[in-house]
Structure 1
Amino acid sequence: MSSSRSAHAAPAKKPKKTRTIVGLSVLGLLVIIVAATAWVGIRGLQAKDALEAAVPLASTIQDQILAGNGEQAAQTAADLAEFAATARSRTSDPIWGSYELLPFLGPNLTAVRELAAVVDDVAQNVVTPLAGLAGTLDLNAFKPVDGSIALQPLLDAQPPVVQANTALTSAAEDVNAINTDDVHDAVRDAVTRLQTVTNDTAVTLDAMDRAVTLLPAMLGATAPRDYILLFQNPAELRSTGGIPGALALLHTDNGGIELTQQASSSSFPQYEAPVLPLSDATRSIYGDITGEFIQNVTMTPDFAETGALAREMWRLEFGLEANGVLSVDPVALSYLLDATGPITLATGDELTADNAVQLLLSDVYARYEVPAQQDAFFAVAAGAVFDAVKSGRADPTKLLAALARAGAEHRVLVWNADETEQTVLAGTTLAGARPVSDDQTNRFGLFLNDGTGAKMDLYLDVSTALGQQTCREDLRPQYTLEVTLSNTAPADAATSLPAYVTGGGVFDVPLGSIKTVVSAYGTPEVQNLGLTRDGAEAPYHPAADATYPVSTIAIELAPGESTVLRFNWLGPEPFSGDLELRSTPLIALNDTASLDFIC
C-alpha cells in the first residue's frame, strides 16, 4: 500500500530558479523594447528638429544668392547640409529599420526616413554645388559690357548646374514615390510640402541647365550667329501673340550682340503660295495664308513652324539664312524696362515699364496714320530697349526676373534651326510648342487669331475657366473649357476710332466690331464633343492638328457685346490630376478659373 501511494504522489514543483530566469528574461525583453522605443522616439525628435532647422535655410540661400552674397550662401548651404545629414543619420540605424515593420507606426517611420534621405541628397548634391558656384560667381558677371556678354562664366557654370539638375531630378522622383497612404497628417503634410518645393525647384533648375548649355552657342561661342527677331503685336492677335509688325536681325559673335538690320511687315510681299510646305492640319485650320505673308506666320500655335516660315521669307528677301528666330511682345518689353529703367527715344518720348504697352499699342496709332510709320516707331522703341539691355544698364536680378516672367507667359519664344540645339528647349515655354500633358497634368490649348484685319484687339477681353466632371458609368470624364469674349470698345467706336484700328470695313467687319477666330485644343487622346455658344449648340470646324482634336469657330462682337463659348471633350479614362490651359498671350492676362458644371 505504502509503495502504491508513493508511486502516485504529486509531481515535484519546478525549481524557483527557473521561474526567476523566465521572469528576468521577460523583464529584460521589456527593458529592451522600452529602450528601443525611447531610442526611436529620441532620434525621431532629433531628426524632426534637424529637418525643421534645415527647411528655412533653403529660402535663405536663395535670397542670399539673388542678393549677390555668394560667400554667405555657401556657409548657409554648409549649415543646411549638416542639419540634413543629422536627420538622415538619426533615421537610418537598424533599430529604426526594425520599427518600420510595425503596423500603424511603421509607415510613418518609413516616410520620415525617406523624407530625411531626400533632404540630405538635395543638400549634398544640389544646394552645395550651386551655393559653391554662387560663392565664386557674381550675377554682375552676366551683365553685358560694351555690348558683349562674357561667355566663360556660362561655361564655368555648366558642370555644377548639370550635376545639380541630375541630382534634383532624381530627388523629385524619390520624394514623389514616398507612400503616404497610412501615415499621420503631419507626416503627410511634410511630404507634400517637400514634393511641391522639389518639383517647383526642379523646373527652375532644369531651365537653368538648358540655359547654360544653349546660350554660349547662341551667343556665338564657336561661330558667329544670326537670329531674326520678331516683335509680335497683340493688338492684332495671332496664336502665339500677334502679327510681326516689326523685325530685326540679331548678330552674335563670341558673346558680342548687335542689331545689324531692321525691317517691317511692308518689307515682305504676299507670296503667291506658301514659302514652305504646310501640313494638311495647318492648311485646314489656319489656311495657306499662314505661309504666304509675314504677318500670318504666327497664326499656327507651333512656333517651330513659325520660325521656319519666317526664316525662309527673310532668306527670300534679304539672301541671308538665319540660325533661328526669336520673338518678344510689348508686354515683355515693359518687363525689361522695369530692369533698365526709363528710356528716352529719339522722338522725345520717355518709355517706361508703366507706359510702354499703352504707348506702343494705342497712342502710336493716334499719332501716326500710316502703318509704315507705326511699324517704324515700334522698331525704334524695341531697338532702344535692346540697346539699354546690351549696354549693361539693366539690374541683373531684375533682368532675370523679367525674362522669367515673360517666358512663363509665353511672351518670349525661341526656335533654333539646328535640331540638336532645339531639342535642348523641348518641353519649355520658350519652345512655343503645342501644350503637352503628363501623368500629373492635362494641358489644353486656346489660340486666337484676329479676323478684323486691324488693331481692335486692344478692346478684346477674354476670360477662361476649365473643369472636369464624371457622369458616365464607365467613369470617363468630360472636360469643358469655357471662354468668355467681350468687346469693350466704346459705343461710338465706328466714328471715334481711326480706320487703322477699326479696319475700315476692308474685311467686311462692321466698324467697331471685333472678329476673332477661336481654336480650342484638347489633349491628344480625348474625343471631341463639339461646343456651345451661349448655351446653344453652334456650328464649328472640327479638325486634328498633330493628333490634337481642335474645334474652331469665328466670333464677331459689336461694341459692348459678349459671348460665352464652351468647348467639350470626353476623356479616355478616369483622371485625378491637375488641369492647365495654355493660351495666346493677350495684352492683359486673366487667370484661368476652375469650372464647375453639370454634364
Structure 2
Amino acid sequence: MPRDRCTACDITPSSSVLMDPMPESPTTDSRASRRHSRTVKRRTRRIWAWSIAGALVLIVGSFAWVGVRGFLATHELQAAMPLATSMKKHLLAQESEAAVDDGEKLAAHAAEAAALTGDPVWRVVELIPGLGPNLTVVRELAASVDDVASGAVVPLAELSSTIELNDFAPAGGRVDLQPMIDAGPSVSAAADTLAAATERVRAVAGEPVVGPLADARSELTDLLVETSATLDALDNAVELVPAMLGVDGPRNYVLLFQNNAELRSTGGIAGALALIHTDQGGFGLAQQASSQDFPRFDPPVVDLPIDTLALYGDNTARWIQDVNFTPQFPLAASIAREMWRLQFGLEADGVIATDPVMLSYLLEATGPVELPTGDVLTSENAVQLLLLEAYQRYSDPADQDAFFAAAASSVFNALASGSVEPSKLIQALITGGEEHRILIWNAREDEQSVLADTTLAGDLPDSTATAEAFGVYFNDATGSKMDNFLDVTLDAGSVTCRNDGRPNFELHVTLTNTAPGDAATSLPGYITGGGNFGTAPGNIKTTVAVYGYPGSFNLGVRSNGAEAPYHPAVEADYTLSKVTVELAPGESQKFEFGFLGNDPKRTGIDTFVTPMINPLVTGQLDIDCESALF
C-alpha cells in the first residue's frame, strides 16, 4: 500500500532558514547604532575643531598680515613726506638733478605704501567695525600719495630738468613764451592729479580713526590743499600769461594802482593808473594817468545792478576813485574799463589792480630802485614813502600823482629789464595773490572763466563743503588819507545750538584810530581831509560791510553790549550788514556781526578781507551757546 505523501516533508531545513530568517536580537542592533553615532560625533567634533582652528589661524594671520603691512606702509609714508619738502626747496633753488632724485625716491616710497595697503586681505579686514575705518583711511592716504607722486611729483621734477625758473623771468622788456607753452600740458595734468587726490582724502575726512592717524590725515590734507592751490595758480598762469602777453596778437590792460591809505572794498582808491601794452611776449607802459585826469561822468557810465546802486550809490559809476566801493572786482573793473574808453578812446582787454604793499613784495625780487626824485625805493620803505611821506612832502595833488607815477614806472621798468630773482618774484606773486593784492579781470569770457575760481578774480567769496565764507570790506568815508592810522582786528567763530543743526556765526571787528592826539593840526590837510567831507580833521570815518554767503540769515549787529544801528542789505544774493563809524584819535569801537548758517555741515568759517596797509589776520573766536549774542 502506498505511503501517504507528507507535504511538510518536502520543505528542507535549509529552505526553511532562507524563507524565514531569524531577526537579530534588539541588544545587538542598539550597540551598533551607538557605535556609529559616537563615530559621527567624533568626526563632527574634529571637523568643527579644525574649522575653528583654521578660522582662528586665518583671522590671526590676517591681523598679523595687515598689522605688518600697515607698519611697513606707515614707514614708507613717513619716509616720503620729508622728500616733498626737500624737492620743493630744490625746485626753488633750481637744483633740478636733486629735485628729480627726490621725486623718484618719493614715488618709490609712495608706490610701496600703496601696494602694501591695497591687497584683498586688507580690504576684507576693512569690514571689521571699529578697526575698519582706520584701515580704510590708511589705504586712501597711501593711494593718494602714490597718485600724486606718479602723476604730479615725478612729471614736474622731470620738467624742471628741461625748464628753469629763469626761463620765465622777463628780460629786455620781454618774456620768452615758448617754455611756458611747452610746460602747459604737464602742469595741467599734474594739477588735475593733485585736485583728484585732494578730493580722495577729503572723502574720508569724517571717518572715526585713532588720534595719530587723524593727525596724519589732517597734515596730508593741509599739504594737498596748499600744494593744489599753488599748482592751480601755476596751471592758470601757463594758460593765461601767454595769451595776456599777446601770443595771439597785441593786448592792452588798464592798471589800477590802489591806494590803501584811502580804503575801498578791493584795497583803495585808484589814485594812479596806467595802460600796459603787450605783444608777442613784450610788454611796457604805453600811457600813465591819475584820478585827476578823469571827470565826474554824467550820466553814470553803466547801469549798476539795483542792489549795488542801493548799497553804494551811483558814484560807483561816476568817479574813477569810487568804482571799487563794491567788493565785486569784475564789476568794478568793467566800470573802470568803460571810463578809460570814454576818456581816452581805447577799449582795453582787461583790468589789473595792485597796491603799494604788493610793490614792496616785488622790490624783494628786484632790489632797491632809484626814483627820478633821488629817493631809493626799497621793500622796507615803499609803503611808508608812498602812503604817508609823499603826502607830507607834496601838498599839490598833481605833485603827489607825479611821484606815484614815477614810483610805479620805475618798479615796472626794473621788472621788465630782467634784474629780478625768479624765485623771489614767484614768492612775491604768491603772497600778493593770497592777500588779494593782485586782482585781474579779463574782458574775454573764455579767459575770465579760467580766473573765476582763483584769488586773482576778486569776486565775492565762495563757501566750501565744510566752511562758510564771509567777506569783510572797508570803505573810507573821511575823504582823505587817514587810513594810515586805522588799526583793525578781526575775530571769527561759530557755535551750533539749534535743534536743526544750523550753526550761528559771529564776526567781531574792532577799529581804532591810532593818529596822534593833535592830528588835526600836526598832519597836512590832504591827509586829514580838512573837514571838507563832513568829518572833523583827525577823525577817521569808515563803513564796514560784512557779507554772509547766499542762504545765510542776517542776525544783526551789536556794539558795546547793545544793538547797533546798521544797514541790512543784499548784493548779488549775499546777505550783508553795513555799519558806519567815526573815531577821534585814540578812540576804538567794536562791532559784533551775527549770521545764521543754512547748512549744518558747514560749521567752519573762512574770511575774505579788504587788503589793508598791514595784513589783517583773522583770530579764532571761541563762543558757546551761553555766550553767543544772537
* TM > 0.5: yes
Q: What is residue 377 of structure 1 aligned with on the other side?
A: 403
Give the Cα separation in 1 of the matches to 2:52 and 2:499: 58
Q: CA deviation at 1:373?
A: 0.6
Alpha-carbon distance change, 253 to 489 in structure 1, aligned in 2, over 3 angstroms: same
Counterparts of residues 492-531 of structure 1 (less than 5 Å): 492-531=518-557
The 8 Å contact of residues 265 and 295 in structure 1, kept in 2 or not, is answered as yes
CA contact (8 A) 1:111 1:180 kept: no
Select the residue among 39, 53, 56 that pairs with 1:14. Answer: 39
Aligned to 1:532: 558
Corresponding residue to 1:446 among 464, 472, 483: 472
* Aligned counterpart, 1:239: 265
CA distance, structure 2, for counterparts of residue 245 and residue 434 of structure 1: 23
- Aligned residues with identical type, % of pairs: 51
* More displaced 10-residue stretch of structure 1: 464-473 or 29-38: 29-38
Q: Which amino acid aligns with 2:615?
A: L
Cα distance in 1 for partners of 2:283, 2:117 equals 53
- 1:325 and 2:347 are equivalent in the alignment: no
- C-alpha distance in 1 between matches for 2:56 and 2:279: 76
Contact 2:609/2:616 (<8 A) preserved: no
- Residue 437 of structure 1: how far off its partner (Å): 1.3
> Using the alignment, how far apart are the partners of 2:421 and 2:197 within structure 1?
33
Q: Which moved more, 1:575-584 or 1:541-550?
A: 575-584
Residue 404 of structure 1 deviates from its aligned partner by 0.9
Moved more, 582-591 or 465-474: 465-474
For residue 99 of structure 2, what is the amino acid of its counterpart?
A
Contact 2:94 2:165 in 1 (8 A): yes
2:392 is aligned with what amino acid?
A
| Aligned residue type for 1:59 | T
Residue equivalent to 1:136: 162
The 3-state SS of whatever aligns with 2:161 is helix
Match of 2:279 in 1: 253
Cα distance in 2 for partners of 1:500, 1:20 equals: 101
The match for 1:95 among 114, 121, 124 is 121
Shift of 1:116: 1.6
SS in structure 2 of the partner of residue 353 of structure 1? coil
**1:425 Cα deviation after fit:** 0.5
* Equivalent-residue separation in structure 2 for 1:31 and 1:468 (angstroms): 51
Corresponding letter in the other structure for 2:361: Y
The verdict on how the C-alpha distance between 1:473 and 1:275 changes in structure 2, with shifts beyond 3 A counting, is same
Secondary structure of the 1:57 match is helix
Match of 1:55 in 2: 81
Distance in 1, matches of 2:524 and 2:205, equals 63
Q: SS in structure 2 opposite 1:58?
A: helix
Q: CA shift at 1:8, angstroms? A: 3.9
Is the partner of 1:237 in helix, strand or coil? coil
Q: SS at the partner of 2:430?
A: helix
Q: How far 1:539 moved relative to its partner?
A: 2.3
- Note if contact 1:311-1:324 (Cα within 8 Å) is conserved in structure 2: yes
Letter in 2 for 1:368: Y
Deviates more, 1:475-484 or 1:296-305: 475-484
Cα distance in 1 for partners of 2:63, 2:481 equals: 73
Deviation at 1:206, TM superposition (A): 1.3
The gaps in structure 2 that reach 5 residues or longer are: 1-22
In the other structure, the counterpart of 1:165 is: 191
Distance in 2 (CA, whole Å) between partners of 1:97 and 1:29 is 17
Query: What's the CA shift for 1:87?
Result: 1.3
Relative distance call for 1:268 and 1:190 in structure 2 (3 A) is same
State which drifts further: 542-551 or 587-596: 587-596
Q: Structure 1: 5+ residue runs without aligned partners?
A: none
- How much does 1:35 deviate? 4.1
For structure 1, which segment, 213-222 or 84-93, has the greater mean C-alpha deviation from structure 2 after superposition?
84-93
1:430 corresponds, among 448, 456, 469, to: 456
Q: Does 1:297 align with 2:323?
A: yes
1:21 Cα offset (Å):
6.6
The whole-number CA distance in structure 2 between the counterparts of 1:15 and 1:298 is 92
1:598 alignment counterpart: 628
Residue 111 (structure 1) shift: 2.5
Structure 2 partner of 1:228: 254
Q: What is the TM-score when the length of structure 2 is the normalising length? A: 0.91
Tell me if structure 2 keeps the 8 A contact 1:230–1:325.
Answer: yes
Cα deviation for residue 207 of structure 1 reads 1.3
Range with bigger deviation, 273-282 or 472-481: 472-481
Where does 1:386-401 land on structure 2 (aligned, <5 Å)? Answer: 386-401=412-427
* Alpha-carbon separation, structure 1, partners of 2:436 and 2:24: 110
Q: Secondary structure at the match of 2:392?
A: helix
Match of 2:340 among 304, 311, 314: 314
Name the aligned partner's letter for residue 547 of structure 2. Y
Change (3 A) 1:472 1:5: closer
Counterpart contact for 2:465–2:602, Cα < 8 Å: no
* Counterparts in 2 of 1:487 and 1:30: CA distance versus 1, 3 Å: closer
In structure 1, how many angstroms separate the alpha carbons of the residues matched to 2:505 and 2:205? 29
Q: Distance in 2 between matches of 1:161 and 1:594?
A: 36
Q: Output the CA distance in 2 between the equivalents of 1:299 and 1:66.
A: 38
Distance 2:226 2:270 in 1: 33
- Of 421-430 and 550-559, deviating more is 550-559
The structure with the largest alpha-carbon Rg is 2
Q: Does 1:569 align with 2:599?
A: no
Is the 2:468–2:602 Cα contact (8 Å) retained in structure 1? no
SS in 2 for 1:238: coil
Question: Structure 1 residue 33: deviation in Å?
Answer: 4.6
- Name the structure 1 match of 2:485: 459
Preserved contact between residue 258 and residue 355 of structure 2 (Cα < 8 Å): yes
Change (3 A) 1:248 1:179: closer
Q: Is the CA contact (8 Å cut-off) linking 2:266 and 2:324 kept in structure 1?
A: yes
Aligned match of 2:181: 155
- Give the structure 2 partner of residue 203 of structure 1: 229
Deviates more, 1:520-529 or 1:228-237: 520-529
Task: Please name the residue that 1:340 is paired with.
Answer: 366
Return the offset for 1:493: 0.9
Equivalent-residue separation in structure 2 for 1:92 and 1:469 (angstroms): 39
Instruction: Answer yes or no: is the 8 Å Cα contact 2:181–2:238 preserved in 1.
Output: yes
Aligned to 1:158, the other structure's residue is in SS state helix
CA distance in 2, matches of 1:485, 1:317: 38
- Structure 1 CA distance, aligned partners of 2:208 and 2:502? 28
In the TM superposition, what is the alpha-carbon distance from 1:259 to its structure 2 partner? 0.5
State the Cα distance separating 1:453 from its structure 2 match: 1.0
CA displacement at 1:494 relative to structure 2: 0.9
Question: How much is the aligned-residue C-alpha RMSD, in angstroms?
Answer: 2.1
Post-superposition offset of 1:31: 4.7
Aligned partner (choices 357, 372, 382) of residue 356 of structure 1: 382
| Equivalent residue for 1:551, pick from 571, 574, 577 | 577
| TM-aligned CA deviation for residue 93 of structure 1 | 2.2
Kindly tell me: are residues 262 and 576 of structure 1, through their superposed partners in 2, closer, same or farther at Cα, counting changes over 3 Å?
A: closer
1:164-195: CA deviation from partner (whole Å, max 9, x where unpaired): 11111111111111266343333333222222
Per mean C-alpha deviation after superposition, the further-off stretch among 101-110 and 300-309 is: 101-110
Match of 1:42? Answer: 68
Q: 1:388 to 1:43 in 2, by over 3 A?
A: same
- The answer as to whether partners of 1:108 and 1:182 remain within 8 angstroms in 2 is yes
Q: Are the counterparts in 2 of residues 273 and 288 from structure 1 also a CA contact under 8 Å?
A: no
